[in-house]
Every structure is written in C-alpha cells, then in structure tokens.
Structure 1
Amino acid sequence: MCGIAGVVYYQSRPREAVLPVLEAMNRAQSYRGPDGDGVWTDGRVGLAHVRLALVGDAERGHEPLADETGAQLIFNGEIYRPAELMRSWGLEFAPGESDARTLHALLRRQGPDGLAEVEGPFAAARYDPAAGKVTLIRDLWGQKPLYLWRRPEGIYFASTVAALRAAVGPLTIRPEALLEYLIYRSVGGRRSAFQEIEQLPPGSWLEVAVDGSERSGQWYHTPAPDRFDARPSDVRERVDFAVAERLDPQLEQGIFLSGGLDSSIVATSAVLQANGSPLRFYSIGYDVSGVQDERHLARRLADNFDYEYQEIQLSAGQIPELFLDVARILEDPIQDPVTLPTLLLSRAAAGRTRCVLTGDGSDEFWGGYERFDDPPRDLADYFPRTAIFQPQDLGLSSAPASYLDQVEMPPENWAPLDRILAVEARNRLRNYHLARVDKLSMGCGLEIRCPFLDRQVTSLAMSIPAENKRLFGVPKGLLIEAYRRVLPEWLVERKKQPFSMPILQWLHGDLQSYARDRLGPNSRTASLVSAQPYLENLNEKSAAKIWSLLVLEAWMEVWA
C-alpha cells in the first residue's frame, strides 16, 4: 500500500548530498503512494516513503515515522488488528493512528522474532541511530517486494527496481534470468532479472550496521505436514476469519470474481460477513467466445448477492500496449497471461476504491493444480511440468540452477507432494504470482488483500499432509468440503478450469500479423530462440510459447 526506499552509507555524507538521492527514489515509485511522501537522513542512513493511505490520518500516517527513542521507520503494507496488539502490550492506539506505529513498537520491544505475532503483508525498514543499525523485514510469503543493491559505498533498498535505478544508475540484465523466464515463466530464487539486484527473502530479516557488517535470519519457518486431524470446519473458521479481517467497513470493498472456486469462496465469505459494508464485484472477459471467458459463471454467482457487479472486456487491440505497461510495472518478466486482466481489473476498481479482495494464493497451499497429480518423488522430475520451453528448445542440456538460488529445500522424508507444495510456496508463488498481484494493483494506486495468504490460513494448510488436503483424491477437496454448504452445487461440482485467455484464437486472428512482425528475425528475442517454428505450427502449446516470447520482447524493449 506504499513504497519504501533507503540507503545505508558506510561513510557519512552531507545531508544535502543524500536528500536528492532519496527524492529521486520517491519520484521513481510515486505511483505506489499518491497520498504523500517524506524523506529523512542523518547523512549515514537515508529513508524515503510514498504513501497510499488506508490506515491512519495524514499526520499520524506520515513517514518516515519517529518513535520516542528517535528511531525511524518506513513501512509498506498492512498490520491487521493494530489496536489489539498495542493494547496487549499496555500501549494506547489513538484514533487516526497508523498501523506503522504498531510495527515500530513491536520491533523495538521484540525485534524481528516478534513478527510471528503479526498478521498482514509487509516490508519495512527501521533505523535505530543509537545502535547504528538498520533492520529490514519482509512478510512470510513475499507479498510485498523488497529489493537490495549492494555497492562499495553502501547498501540501497527499495520496493521497486526503478527506485534503485534512480538512485544508482544503469542496470545489467542477468543472462540466466532470461533462460529462467523462458523455461519456468519467471525468474527464480532470491535474484531479480538484473545482475546487481536481489530480493530480501520472504519471512526473513536483515540487519545492516553503519560499519557495513550484516546479520540475517528467518522469523518464519514453514510447519511440517504432520497434522492429521484437521476438519473442514477448522479450515472454514480460519478462512472466514481471514476474510473478515480484510474487510474495511469504511471503504467500498472490491472483489475480483473469476467464477472459479477460490474467488467464489472469498466472495461468499465476504457477503456473509459484510454486515452492511458496501461490496462491488468485478469480472473480466474477452472479445472472442470460448471456455476461457468465465463471465457467465461470475455473473451467475454474483446474481445470488445483492451487490453491484461490473464486467470488463479485454480485446486483442489492447494487448500490444498492455504488454508494455505490464513490463514497466512488473520490472521482472512474468509470462502469466493473467497479468493483463489483472491490470485492467485494477484500473477499473481503482476508480472507485482503494482496496480489493482476491482468491490468489489458494492452489499452492491446498493442492489445486493438475500438475500436482501423481507427484514424482524426485523434485527434479517435477519442475518440467511447470515449463513453457524445455531446456533443449533453447540449446541447453539442462535448466539453469540459478532458478532455485537460495531456495530452502524441504526435508527428503516428506511425502512427494508435500515437498512440491513447499517449494512452490517458497519460490514460484512469490516470483510468478505475488509479484503480479502486488505490483499491478499498486501501479494503479490499489491495495489487493489475499485472505488465502493469511499467516494462520497458510500455516494450517502447510501443517496438513497433502493427501489429506486432496480429500477423496480431489484437488482442494478439504477446502471444497469446508464451503460445500454455502456454495452453489454447480460451482462445487464443476471441474477446475485454470484461469486462461483465448491466446490461440487471437494468434489465429487479430494478433496474427502483430506476432509475426514483433517476433521476426531481427527481434530482441531471436538470439535466444526463433519464433518461426511455433508461428508456422500454431496449437495450444506453441501459442503459449509465442505468448511467452511476446511478453519478453516487450520487457526487453522497456528494460534493455
């Protein structure tokens, strides 16, 4: 819901030399915070913040935020139930107070280990001048981005790659990142698409002293899948609570509705708990008919609710410009076709509200994808199931090992699907899904809240063995049983349909000449792989590869 940026210099500098750097970083990510900005520096540490206001008034929500000790905090995200947390420590939470104040107090009292008490997505930096150190933190699954650039003069950090580029200068594309993208649809591990820039890992903290020394650790650890007694009622109780926690009675709450199970659960739970709060549903379809257009299903569900419903249409003519818009906002290339609908839905919702709920994050924790069927024991045999291009298509003997750079591997004695789900949650979820959710919505001044990524919901899910979550052998069977009584029968019994777009129809029609012109022999991607064989033999698989190359071509136009 904001953008943060900063720097720790190993040698002190004049304040007047640091302030322009901070102001440049704020300008580069100003779209993340249309409601205000602030900078602070003592010449050794600099902090910058742009604000999208959801919690706290203009004065109390202004950052950088100082506490009574003189420590400074910048914060991107949300802390749910902040007043309750403050009262548990014997502290007041005044009307109009910001949830940043709660995070400030927690870090001062307990350090990063205290984050295990916190619910909500966040990335933050706290500078303690007395101790001469900056502490960086990130939420457990990486919903909020936090990038780092280590330099000889110091370490820079920000919510966006663009802010780091504004502070330091040109970037170098990491060659392995392009291969990771073409094979696995996104970059992997804790790296970015750029040689100089890495991510702070989810669920972790990094302490940087002004003398350049560092300490780091994990504040969150994935539970072992050893709970066999979880009932559908336990699941519904946790998910319902997560939905209620994310409803804001002071806002018109948007809900993105696809017609699938996950968004329908969120929508139904929200309706049952809204207590008169205004809700509005958004769905998207396409200018060609087919199974990919699920507006009729979303409309069918929305007709059960007494709330406003809005449909948006994505047409082939919008796609070339959307490719470029998405590339600018995402910063790392992501193949997922749903990026385009996400951006259009976010633009529509941002015209009316600051906050939207979605069903993102369910499949990785509750075993929803078809590729989870018949899981192989060896993880190396699983990863090709997620691929678009195979290494051989790119002239490689194997996929780049950098895709799993510093990704913690689960114990080998876990069941195969439990291991797969853990790796998906620790790597692909963040780089392929969550980067899209946060960045595209924040690019429109909109906050997306994801109940299925709630700490207690995901911890429960990860503690349940995968075979128990796939009750009766059905993907997400336990989740389905949890909501069977409140969802329409047609929805419960419907076979899972991945959210998709009519890419093949477009490539046979309105996008045909565009794709051929864009991916000719002089294209930026031609040095990596020729598009011609796929253009000449169009089918569902080759169309996915063409789409992947079109996304990368736009990304390289913007970032190369």
Structure 2
Amino acid sequence: MCGIAGIYHLETPKPVDATRVEAMCDAIAHRGPDGQGVWTAPGVGLGHRRLSIIDLGGSPQPMASSDGRAMLVFNGEIYNYRELRQELKLLGEVFHTDGDSEVILAAWRRWGPQCVSRLFGMFAFAIYDLDARTLFLARDRLGVKPLFYAPLSDGSLVFGSELKALTAHPLLRREIDPLAVEDYLAWGYVPDHRSILKGVCKLPAGHFLLLRHGAPLPRPVQWWDVSFAERRTARPADLEAELLHLMRQAVTSRMVSDVPLGAFLSGGVDSSSVVALMAETSVDPVRTCSIGFDVAALDETGYATRIARQFGTEHASRTVSPDDFAAIDAVAGMFDEPFADASALPTWRVCQLARESVTVALSGDGADEAMAGYRRHVFQSAEDKVRALIPSGLRRPVFGALGGLYPKADWAPRPLRAKSTLLSLAGDSAEGYARSMAFLPPELRNALYTDEFRRLRGDYRAEEPVLDLMRSAPARSGLDRAQYADLKSWLPGDILTKVDRTSMAVSLEAREPLLDHRLVEFAATLPEAMRVQRGQGKWLMKRTMRRYLPDDILHRPKQGFVTPIAQWFRGPLVQAARDIAGSAALARTGWLDQRKLLGVVEAHVAGTSDNSRLLWQLLMLERALSGLDAH
C-alpha cells in the first residue's frame, strides 16, 4: 500500500523538475513512510511513497521492467500475483524480486493495456512505456484505490493518490466547482464524476487512461463492469455452497502479508463473517479491534466482544466521545474535499487502534452494496411492488400530494415517518431510490441556497448522474439498478474513500475481501429473493453464515457505524452547532442563506427536528473550504 504521484507532458516532452514530483510525494508521505523514490525522463516524472507489505526489502519503486522498457509506480495489492508470476514465467518472463509490482510490469510487457483484466486486487498505478512514450493510468474494478489527475496550463498533466498531491503543484488552479457543492449537499461526498476543484478529475473505478505525447487528453476507457442482467437458477443449497467458497477464497487471498495482519470487528454480520473465515484459516489467533461510543444505544462493542470470544481473537477496543471532536480538523484534512460521513471519525480511531499492533487489517466493507444489505434496498424492493400495482399517472399526483402534506416527523417512531416513502412512491423506481440515498433531497437543498448559488448551479441537479446510472444499468429490476448505482457511485465515493483516507492517514493497509470482484459478479446474478427476503437484506449471505454465527448477530437490525452526532449537537457540542450558522467561511461563499441555517441549528437544538447530518455536512464543508484556502 503506497502513494503515487507524477507529471506527464501531453504536448511536447519537456524536462520534468524532479523536485516538483518530490513535493507532490511529500504531501502524501503518510501513505508510504517506508521508502520513497522519483524517476524522470524527457516529458515524464514518476514518484512513489512506499508502505512495505510484501517483499519488504526487494521491490523499490519507481520500478523498471526487466528489459528497461517500462517504469511503474503502483499503489495497492495484487492478490493473484503468484499465479500470474508462474504463468508469465512459462511465457518467458524473468523476475528479480518476490513482489507483485514486477508482475504488473511483466503483464504490461505481455498484454499491454489488457493486462488490467488479469490483475485481481486493489490498485491504482502508472506505467510509462519508454518505447511508445505513452503513460498508462489504471484503477481497480471497484475503486478501492483512488487516482486524481488534472491538466495544467503548461501543457502537462499531474496525477496522484490524493488531491493534496496535486495541490502541491504551483500551477494547479484552486477554483471551487459549484456543481460539486450541489453534489456534496445531495450525497454527503463529492462523487467520482466530479471534484471540488474545477479541472481536477478522478479516474473512475474500472477505467484506464492511455496518454501519448502530442495527442489530446483522451476520455477514460472502461475495462470492467458488473452486470445484473443474468440470473442463477441453481438450488439455494448450491448457491450457498458457491458463495461460501468465494468468501473463503476472498478472505484467504487477502491474508498474504509479510507484516502483522488483523481485522476490524464491529460485531455486525459482515466483519464477523470475515473474522470467522480468518479464524478458520489462521494458525495463530486473529488480532481484532473495535470502536464504541459513549451513547449506549449506538454502542456495538458488546457484540464485537462476543464474536472475539467465540473465535478466540486477540481483541482490543476503545470508545469515541465528544472529546474527539477536537480532532475534527485532522479528519477533514484527510479528505481534502468536503466529506460528511460522520463515521469517518470512529473509522480513523479504529485504524489508529489497529496500527498499534498490525500493518494490514481486513474489513467487512462492500457486502451491503454487493448483496443488498441496506435498509433502502429492502424498501426499494417493496416500493417497486407497489409501483407495479398502481399506474404512474395515479401515483405521481396522489403520493406526491400526500408526501407534500405529511410532516417531516424526525421525532416520531420510524413507522410514522412516512414523508420520504410517500415522495419516493410518487416517482419512478430510479427517482425513488435517488431520493432514498440523498442526505438532502432537492427541495431542502433549494431552500438553503441563495439566489446567487442557484444561478451558479444552473439547470444541473445532483440526482441526474444517479438516474442515468440506474436507467442505463445492465439490470432486470429496480433492486438491481439500485445496487448498480451503489456500486458505481456510493461505494467508491463514500465507503471506499472513507476507508482509504482514514487508514492511509495512519499508514495502515485496509483490505476488503467482500469486494473481491468474483464475489461481486456472483452476487449480481442472484435471484432477487436470494438477496432480499421477508424484509431482510443479504438473505443468502446470512443463510450461508449460519454455521459460523449466532442468530442474534445474523438477524439483529442493521445499525452501521453510526456516530452519535445528534446527541452531541444537543449536548456537549451545542455551541459548535450554533457556530456553524455564523461561520465566516460559509458566509464568504454567498451560497447559503445564513438566516435559514440558524433556523436549522435551533430546530435541532430544541429537538423538533433531527438536523444532525446537515449540521455535520455544513461543518465539514466549512473545514474543507478553510483547508483549501490555507494551501
């Protein structure tokens, strides 16, 4: 696990200043404290920061291919590198190291851009081919590892593992993109189709770029996609056996490491499943860690402790409290862009805890997206059945009117909070799902905007790319399309961004076995009833894991890594909430109505509305803007 950065001249191959590449790498030094290197040639410069995991002393980067034709910088892990190495040896390739980096170079020599389809793992890498004078940038199938890039005014293109690597270059413009703010206020993160800074791009998951001197900047090429268009017809018992095989294979392949390895353990189905399969394979006790909260209703450490005892792990836990709010600037700085998933704070804390004893930690991330584990997936499946019964010409006016009249009853028991369901049923399947995903639906965003920001935003609405994803998805049902949108947008934009930045901030490698692409591809072919059944998601996975986990772990209501910000903003952090409404940084933008922000704060403090997610969202926007101004 590492950090990469580089400069490539698109027009003429002018010399590259190595000190600029070094500065870009220094900005992401936390990603690789164990080594560094820079290589330059006419028109190109590649930089690398190394976190040693495999072949600790033998795979320095930038790395040259055995024939000297190509140079590589690589962030990630290739889990099938040993199998590929043997295949490539039979084809005549010669190896001088024991790591996976040299395997990528040999695969490039043998198969060119198509080499990515042979690589199983998480990766973002750059290869400069000295013969063809091309730069190849690639990102893994599901977007576990990030890659930013931007063209500059001098005709060059800069790239790096994090935005801060790019902002270390003096020619990068720092103009905020108002459409990214619209996206952020809708979703709580800036999706991969946009960046907070105009002109900066994120290479989409499952895509590559092939750049040539003298040629214009091309569009990314998609090299992998997941299809929900086919359905397995096997018996449930056979599907269960296949799923267990794929899960075991995914976990075992991610336990290869030359440094200490452990796992995050929340006590939920996903992390407990990973730990169970690790314990089945490991000779030594698995090292696990968990984070709890000082609000009892949201604390899951008791469940984690039970699983740790059941599988005999070496377990450690800590508690997050409002005192951790003092670290909010550090958390905001990890992301560069505004990022409003409040679980980033405890995720960072659990990464810190893990790093005290291990360098690699396996997580349970990805199962909800792949196997329909979110509550919104269950609702989507049920709502589509209602939509199929009632014509849209009747649904839109009736449910739309009822949803408009129904109060936003945050204080009420969950079954009485019907406003979002009614408004969701008023739209088609894609519109309903986009509404269920949103931090702030369009009417609430619009109410907060000033006239000036509405002018800047124009006709664009954050929901449009999600609707396009769902309506063009290779899928059969509304649930298929919802999961496809999650895998393409929510997963890389929120979940994987959170885990990458918080783990890399402490130089910890996080691995996600439940996002093995073979497992994801299999799950996409499951009949809908094998994913959602009797009001529960991840049905086949829970059935499969019955042999390992107790029923109260498998079937308790999904909670997620929920930070108790609602309680904090009404208690110890009430002044912090009020400070948001008077924020000078937000006021300077002229985007948001300050009077309405004050109303949002006071309604939350009084307990008449739960506006905690919006308050956290605004707080992180303020800190991100301040961080970009400070550079």
Q: Under a length normalisation based on structure 2, what TM-score does the superposition of the two structures give? A: 0.83
- Could you tell me how far 1:403 is from its partner in structure 2? 5.1
Cα distance per residue 1:465-506 (max 9 Å; x no partner): 433322455210011011111112221232222321222221
Given that 1:38 and 1:64 are in contact with CA atoms closer than 8 Å, whether structure 2 keeps it comes out as no
SS of aligned partner of 1:341: helix
SS of equivalent residue, structure 1 residue 363: helix
Q: Following the alignment from structure 2 to structure 1, what is the Cα–Cα distance between the partners of residues 485 and 331?
A: 26
CA distance in 2, matches of 1:398, 1:7: 32
Q: 1:505, 1:93 → 2: CA distance?
A: 60
Tell me the amino acid that sits aligned with residue 206 of structure 1.
L
Assess if the C-alpha contact under 8 Å between 2:7 and 2:46 holds in 1: yes
Q: Any conservation in 1 of the 2:9–2:157 contact (CA below 8 Å)?
A: yes
- The answer to whether structure 1 residue 220 and structure 2 residue 224 are counterparts is yes
1:339 equivalent in alignment to 2:348: no
Aligned equivalent of 1:2: 2
Cα deviation, 1:195-237, whole Å, max 9, x if unaligned, reads: 1211111111110001134554222121234132351111111
C-alpha deviation, 1:531, in angstroms: 2.6
The aligned amino acid for 1:236 is: L
Residue 379 of structure 1 pairs with residue 430 of structure 2: yes
SS of match in other structure, 2:157: strand
Q: Deviations over 1:143-169 (max 9, x none)?
A: 110111012412111111111111234
Unaligned runs of 5+ in 2: 385-427, 448-458
Structure 1's 322 and 462: CA in aligned 2 closer, same or farther, altered over 3 A?
farther
Q: Does 1:528 align with 2:592?
A: yes
Q: 2:321 aligns with which of 296, 311, 315?
A: 315
Q: Does 1:126 align with 2:188?
A: no
For the residue of structure 2 that corresponds to 1:111, the secondary structure is: helix
Matched with 2:553 is 491
| Mapping of residues 142-153 of structure 1, within 5 Å | 142-152=143-153, 153=155
Cα pair distance change 1:534/1:228, threshold 3 Å:
same
Match for residue 279 of structure 2? 271
CA apart distance, 1:313: 1.2
More divergent stretch after superposition (494-503 vs 196-205): 494-503
- Whether the 8 Å CA contact 2:566–2:610 is kept in 1: the answer is no
Equivalent in the alignment of 2:66:
67
- Partner Cα separation in structure 1 for residue 492 and residue 441 of structure 2: 22
Q: Which residue of 2 is the match for residue 194 of structure 1?
A: 197
Alignment CA distance shift 1:195-1:11 (3 Å): closer
Q: Name the counterpart of 1:163.
A: 165
- Give the drift of 1:97: 1.9
Q: 1:411 to 1:256 in 2, by over 3 A?
A: closer
CA 1:19–1:251 in 2, change beyond 3 Å: closer, same or farther? closer
Instruction: State the 1:51 CA deviation.
Output: 0.6
Per-residue deviation at 1:436? Answer: 0.8
More off after superposition, 123-132 vs 394-403: 394-403
- Aligned residue pairs, count: 556
**Distance in 2 between residues matched to 1:413 and 1:135, nearest whole Å:** 31
Report the alpha carbon displacement of residue 413 of structure 1 after superposing the two structures with TM.
6.3
Give CA-to-partner distance per residue, 1:54-108, whole Å, 9 cap, x none.
1123343332434314211111100113122111121578685221101111122
The answer to whether the 8 Å contact 1:3/1:158 transfers is yes
1:463–1:450 CA distance, 2 compared to 1 (3 A): same
- 1:260-289 CA-to-partner distances (Å, cap 9, x unmatched) read 11111111111111122x5211111122x3
Q: How far apart, in 1, do the equivalents of 2:336 and 2:471 lie?
A: 27
How far apart, in 1, do the equivalents of 2:180 and 2:36 lie? Answer: 33
**Identity, % of aligned pairs?**
30
Q: Which moved more, 1:337-346 or 1:151-160?
A: 151-160
Q: Which residue of 2 aligns with 1:245?
A: 253
Amino acid at match of 2:124: A
Unpaired segments ≥5 residues, structure 1: none
Are residue 302 (structure 1) and residue 308 (structure 2) matched? yes
Matched residue, 1:113: 114
Q: 1: distance between equivalents of 2:144 and 2:467?
A: 19
* Secondary structure in structure 2 of the residue aligned to 1:126: strand
Q: Residue 293 in 1 paired to residue 290 in 2?
A: no
Task: State the one-letter code of the partner of 1:255.
Answer: A
**Does the CA-based 8 Å contact 2:581-2:601 persist in structure 1?**
no
Cα separation, 1, equivalents of 2:553 and 2:10? 58
Indicate conservation of the 8 Å contact 1:205/1:217, yes or no.
yes
Maintained 8 Å contact 1:65/1:74: no
SS in 2 for 1:496: coil
What is the distance in 1 between the residues matched to 2:315 and 2:569? 30
Q: Which of these residues, 545, 566, 571, is aligned with residue 509 of structure 1?
A: 571
Is the 8 Å Cα contact of residues 56 and 258 (structure 2) preserved in structure 1?
Answer: no
Aligned to 1:27: 26
Q: What one-letter code is carried by the residue in structure 1 that aligns with 2:118?
A: E
Distance 1:455 1:64 in 2: 27
**For residues 162 and 549 of structure 1, do their structure 2 counterparts lie closer, same or farther at Cα, with a shift above 3 Å needed?**
same
Question: Greater helix share, 1 or 2?
Answer: 2
Partner residue of 1:103?
104
- In structure 2, the partner of 1:469 is 531
Output the CA distance in 2 between the equivalents of 1:185 and 1:46: 35
- AA in 1 matched with 2:622: E
Name the CA shift for 1:348/1:498 in 2 (closer, same or farther; >3 Å). Answer: closer
User: Quick check: 1:326 aligned with 2:331?
Assistant: yes
Q: Which moved more, 1:490-499 or 1:233-242?
A: 490-499
1:554 aligns with 2:615: no
- Cα deviation for residue 399 of structure 1 reads 3.2
2:425 match: none
Work out whether 1:257 is the aligned partner of 2:323. Answer: no
Who is 2:614 aligned against? 545
- The change in CA–CA distance for 1:407 and 1:148 in structure 2 (over 3 A counts) is farther
CA pair 402-329 structure 1, distance change in 2 beyond 3 A: farther
Match of 2:352, SS state, is helix
- Whether the 8 Å contact between 2:229 and 2:474 is mirrored in structure 1 is no
Moved more, 116-125 or 545-554: 545-554
Give, in angstroms, the shift of residue 4 of structure 1.
Answer: 0.9
